[in-house]
Amino acid sequence: MKPERPYFLDNKGNVRFLIYIFHALCFVLFAADFVLHRHSYHPLEEIPAFYALFGFLAFSVIILGAAMLRKLVMRPEDYYEAPEEISND
Amino acid sequence: MMSAIFANLPALQVILPLLFAPICFLLRKRGAAWLLAFCVSLCTFAVSIALFMQVSAAGPLSYAMGGWDPPWGIEYRVDSFNAPFLVLLSLMFCVTLAFSYKSVEKEIVQPRHALFYSAFMLCVAGLLGIVITGDAFNVFVFLEISSLSSYILISFGKDRRALTAAFQYLIMGTIGATFLLIGIGFIYMMTGTLNMADLAVRLPSVMDTHTVRAAFAFIIVGMSIKVALFPLHVWLPNAYGYAPSAASVFLAATSTKVSLYVLIRFTFTVFGAGFAFGAMPLQPILLVLAVTAVFVGSLSAIFQTNIKHVLAYSSVAQIGYMVIGFALASHAGLSAGILHMFNHAVMKGCLFLVAGCVFYRFRSARIEDFRGLGKTMPWTMGAFVVGGLGLIGMPLTAGFVSKWYLIMAALDHGFVGFLIIAAVLAGSLLAVAYVWRIVEVAYFQAPDEVHENGKEAPFILLVPAWFMALLTLYIGIDPSLVVGAAESAALSLLGSTP
Amino acid sequence: MTDLSLLTLPFMPFFIAALAVMFIASSSVRSALMLAVPIASGFLLLQEQSGVALTMPFMGYELVPFRTDKLSFLFGYLFCIASFIAILFSLHVKDRVQHTAGLFYAGSAVGAVFAGDLLSLFFFWEVMTVSSVFLIWARQTDGAFRCGMRYLIIQVASGLLLLAGALMILHSTGSLAFNEIGLESQAGYVILLAFGIKAAFPLLHNWVIDSYPQSTVTGAVFLCCFTTKVAVYALARGYAGADILIYIGAVMVIFPIFYAVIENDLRRVLSYSMISKVGFMVCGIGIGTELAINGAVATAFNHVIYKSLLFMSMGSVLHMTGRIRASDLGGLYKSMPLTTILCVIGAASISAVPLFGGFVSKGMILTAALDQKLDFVWLCLLFASAGTFYYAGIKICYFTFFGQDSGLRAADPPKHMLLAMGLAAAMCVFIGLYPALLFGLLPFEVDYIVYDTTHVLAQLQLLAFVGLGFVWLKISKLGPPDLRSVNLDVDWIYRKFLPESIRCALGLLIADYGRLKRFFCDLFHQYIMGGLIRHHGPHGILARAWPIGSMVLWVAVLLFFYLIFYYF
């Protein structure tokens, strides 16, 4: 077997580059809130960059909530019955 | 000549199979015996149709046996309640015989074939007699004829357990019949008559006596045994399960229904609804037993490993539905109960015919035998699916029509009605479990070596099975005929006021 | 047009083909026939006009098996498209039972949305149930069998409740017509429960989670398209504006998010996501304004497209690699580039990225909630949108196609599967670019501008910062790992709690009393372990052939009781 050619994401540098781009994008969107007019229907929406903050906050809540939920409901895979190997079709 | 035949139709209905049964036995030859029986069944069916038409055109028909006028002689009475039962019985007679030629050949040793057919004809004659007669004692006589011959039919089963099953049924059946006889004796003692119509006239004056009450109790309990109403159902599964396929088809489709017929006949025609449901607390007792029957029967069916037993326990549950309808004692309830008696006969007939087809191929009808049948016996399984959908009560099958009318009837009864509806719906849910379990086995489990090479059942066995399957669908799509019959039957039982 | 007959109704091609498929051995003829079915059905639909009704007498009632209006048409077209995609995706399957079941299932879904009375609705409802269970059983494992049985029982229970409710309505009003039902009568609640089971209301939702991941690769695509959407249709028709639905919907959008995040089986993640999305629709129906209903229906339309796309891409992964747990997958973009792109499009659509289908409909329900001053509901929905992006957008794509390389090198799936996925992806993009086409199908006039600065900017910010959170989590390596596990859900009640508690209760009865205990222990243990089998099994007390003596005893007991009752 010939060795696989390296794929795009195998290169750490590429990944780092993508992450930079993404951070830049986030910053642009955050800043856009102060430049463009965003119509608000609800008092909460008037908070600057409300949606950005809400998104980040929601994500944190989800991760923390999920971690707690996992403590509560996670059981070994054979809890009900022994798992079967998944076959195709 | 023709007019003589038409005048004596009620007598012919019973006499034909009764008379030809011994001849059938004397013929000895397998083919000849079957042919004779089949011809007789066709004639019987024609007679029953003629009677049905006559009754629906001209109203009740009274026939004095041997020219002795009732109430002294024995009266045969055909009204809109029993005419459809005559049709049902003789129809099942034909269908079973069409099926039995091949099936009996496989399941019963050769020299006994003629005996089987003559016992079968006697059984039919007995059941027809029970239904048609208007004389209380005559009911007992025919009950004995049909019971004794059905013990014989069951004991023909190849499985040795068939003998114990038949013996058990014999004991229980005899107790049931004896109770009936005791009951009839009591009312005869009080009124001095045995004619049902006459009894209905004379009984009200002595209604308040202990004797009549005891008579009523004896008749109800006695017939409950024959109906296989919970908790007196235990004889039924083995009797149906170990009997030869042809016999189980016929018995499952008809025998408990006829017993229920007797129960209803005595309750409504002889004792009267006012006495049975007014003075006596029949309704709560029957409702409790029937609802229990639905659950116990269905749950037991789920855990059976033999298809015939699954179907037999399902019968116990379905009898529960019929008794619920009967116990509601309203016009709607009674017609729902009677309707389900017909519909269940058709569906269960279909399913037992399918079990017979499978038995024909594999000499047993365990659930394992159904593995892969979806591929190897597609037509057989097709009929099973139709019959099974009927039992569950899917729309466009006969079972749905029954469920519909039963629920509609229960809605008139307030809170009790809701409980009944819940029981009926839970029963259907359990039916899904026991029917679809078999469907899954048939369509998704790979057959083992024995069953891999299974072939489709012979055409001649498929015809009756599919006839019943199509009938299930026909009733589901256009129920007007059956519903009409059931409603006029209920009407005739309750008098003119629905 | 009055020349309607049963044969030209749009569900008929499905039913006829379903029967025909059983007997066609040649796979190319079969494929051609099956693909022609949704097209024929769609063509029949195009011929019909709004406001038509076909009546049919049955058991003394006038049934309306076919009745058209804008709401039905939308779902009708949707189901034709969805079934075309699902059929195309499943062409490789040899098992004819699955094809027949799939066609019956899709056909009855089409029938259900045109049913003008409750009895016809019940009929299609039941056919859907009975046929769809085959798609689960077709896996042919023991687990799939038991799961199918659970699914079947729950679905049939829904059908029976519908029947009971229908009869109660018939009994009190004398009419079976299926229009606005409302919650004024008991019957209304019974039917709501029936619809609720199919729509996977909280606590009734478990069948989705249990069964969809258990079905076959292709079966899941069928399943995800129809059952819940028919329920959404039925709710929209019968309970539009019922307040209780708002709150049910709000719970429904929130709780599955957390489960989806910790779930390892990716098809199960999609199932949770489906409940959450159906929650959006239920909420919209509950709000009940024209905009909200439009939003709910449009969400249903988009949801079928992108959810089937996601199920197809996960199905392809399962089909090609044989694995579906997030912990077993990763790095598949290397060998499955096309699947990756298609899946990303589906994920973009479900996350409501602007220019994709999901964005068009999502905002409508949120705006409607704000219009009605339902602030809390609005926040819930907003929270759910953020969650959706994480578990459906990021988790599905990232863990399967990117992430830690699992070393799996499976090729892209066969052409017909890619084609089916491509079709769905094209529709996602197309609706995103030309929302007017979808708006034309909606039941009410649409007065909603999709692409304005406010909506686009808000949504982009929301998505970007959820993404940012994820990136930081990954960089800091704090993220919750994907673990092989089972997560308890409502099914715990009937799969564990009930059996266990019966066991415990009986266990408590047997305190420690030496030999007595041993005796009872054995007795009870046998009693309990077998559970019902003991009672009802072939040798169970209630199913055993009793000795004649005890049978006769029963006769005597019964007679005694009758006599007692009759005498006193």
pLDDT in tens, A35-52: 877 777 778 888 888 888
> Torsion angle, CA of C388/C393/C398/C399, rounded to 10 degrees?
50
In this prediction, what percent of chain B has a pLDDT beyond 90?
43
pLDDT at A8 > cutoff 50: yes
Residue C520 confidence class, pLDDT cut points 50, 70, 90: very low
Q: Is B8 on the interface with C (CB under 8 A)?
A: no
Instruction: Answer whether residue B481 is part of any domain.
Output: yes
Q: What pLDDT was estimated at residue C419?
A: 93
pLDDT at C281 > cutoff 90: yes
Instruction: Answer whether residue B450 is part of any domain.
Output: yes
Residue A87 confidence class, pLDDT cut points 50, 70, 90: very low
Q: What is the mean pLDDT of residues C551-568?
A: 80
Omega before B244 cis (within 30°)? no
Q: What is the spatial distance between Cα B93 and Cα B95, in angstroms, rounded to a whole number? A: 6
Chain B hits for C170, Cβ within 8 Å: 408
Q: For B189-198, B292-301, C50-59, C263-272, which range has the lowest pLDDT when averaged over its residues? A: C50-59
Contact C363, C448 (CB under 8 A): yes
Q: For C29-43, C170-184, C505-519, which range has the lowest pLDDT when averaged over its residues? A: C505-519
Q: What is the spatial distance between Cα C59 and Cα B404, in angstroms, rounded to a whole number? A: 10
Q: What pLDDT was estimated at residue B362?
A: 83
Residue B322 confidence class, pLDDT cut points 50, 70, 90: very high
Please name which of A68, A79, A82, A66 lies closest in space to residue C488, comparing C-alpha atoms: A79
Q: What pLDDT was estimated at residue C504?
A: 65
Q: Is C393 on the interface with A (CB under 8 A)?
A: no
Q: What is the spatial distance between Cα B498 and Cα B492, in angstroms, rounded to a whole number? A: 9
A69 backbone dihedrals φ, ψ, rounded to 5°: -60, -35
Chain A hits for C217, Cβ within 8 Å: 88-89
Q: Is B473 on the interface with C (CB under 8 A)?
A: no
Residues 6+ apart with CB under 8 A from C356: C306, C345, C348, C349, C428, C429, C432
Instruction: Answer whether residue B208 is part of any domain.
Output: no
- Both tokens of C81, joined, read 């498209």
Answer whether A84 sits within 8 Å of C475, measured CB to CB. no
Contact B314, B254 (CB under 8 A): no
How distant is the Cα of C157 from the closest Cα of chain A, in angstroms? 23
- Both tokens of C16, joined, read 């006829």
Q: What is the spatial distance between Cα C558 and Cα C568, in angstroms, rounded to a whole number? A: 16
Beta-bridge partners for B75: B64
pLDDT at C95 > cutoff 90: no
C31-67: burial string, b at 16+ Cβ within 10 Å, e else: bebbbebbebbbebbeebeeeebbeeebbeeebbbbb
Please name which of B427, B280, B210 lies closest in space to residue C160, comparing C-alpha atoms: B427
Contact B106, B12 (CB under 8 A): no
Number of domains composing chain B: 1
Q: What pLDDT was estimated at residue C528?
A: 44
Q: What pLDDT was estimated at residue C330?
A: 82
Answer whether B303 sits within 8 Å of C170, measured CB to CB. no
Instruction: Answer whether residue B57 is part of any domain.
Output: no
Please name which of C71, C108, C48, C444 lies closest in space to residue C237, comparing C-alpha atoms: C71
Q: What pLDDT was estimated at residue C512?
A: 40
Environment class of residue B66 by beta-carbon count within 10 Å: exposed (0-12), middle (13-18) or buried (19+)? exposed
Q: For C250-259, C388-397, C528-537, which range has the lowest pLDDT when averaged over its residues? A: C528-537
pLDDT at B280 > cutoff 90: no
Q: Is B399 on the interface with C (CB under 8 A)?
A: no
Q: What is the mean pLDDT of residues C481-491?
A: 69
Please name which of C219, C16, C227 lies closest in space to residue C98, comparing C-alpha atoms: C219
Q: Chain A to chain C, count of Cβ pairs less than 8 Å apart?
A: 163
Interface test with C, best of B233, B240, B303, B391 (most C CBs within 10 A): B303
Instruction: Answer whether residue B390 is part of any domain.
Output: yes
Q: What is the mean pLDDT of residues B2-24?
A: 86
Q: Is A1 on the interface with C (CB under 8 A)?
A: no
Residue C563 confidence class, pLDDT cut points 50, 70, 90: confident
Q: What is the pLDDT of residues B294-313, one digit of tens each?
A: 998 998 888 888 899 999 99
- Supply the DSSP string of C391-403, one letter for each residue: IIIIIHHHHHHSS
Residue A82 confidence class, pLDDT cut points 50, 70, 90: low
Chain C hits for A2, Cβ within 8 Å: none
Average pLDDT, chain B: 88
Contact C331, C401 (CB under 8 A): yes
Q: What pLDDT was estimated at residue C102?
A: 93
Please name which of B495, B398, B488, B489 lies closest in space to residue B131, comparing C-alpha atoms: B489
Q: What is the pLDDT of residues C114-167, one digit of tens each?
A: 998 998 999 999 899 989 988 888 888 888 888 888 888 889 899 999 999 998
Residue B111 confidence class, pLDDT cut points 50, 70, 90: confident
Residue C280 confidence class, pLDDT cut points 50, 70, 90: very high
Q: Is B472 on the interface with C (CB under 8 A)?
A: no
State whether residue B211 is helix, strand or coil.
helix
Domain of B335, in residue numbers: 281-498
Q: For C180-184, C331-335, C499-503, which range has the lowest pLDDT when averaged over its residues? A: C499-503
- Please tell me the pTM assigned to this model: 0.85
Instruction: Answer whether residue B289 is part of any domain.
Output: yes
Q: What is the pLDDT of residues C233-255, one digit of tens each?
A: 999 999 988 899 999 999 999 98
Instruction: Answer whether residue B473 is part of any domain.
Output: yes
Q: What is the spatial distance between Cα A59 and Cα B97, in angstroms, rounded to a whole number? A: 73
Instruction: Answer whether residue B495 is part of any domain.
Output: yes
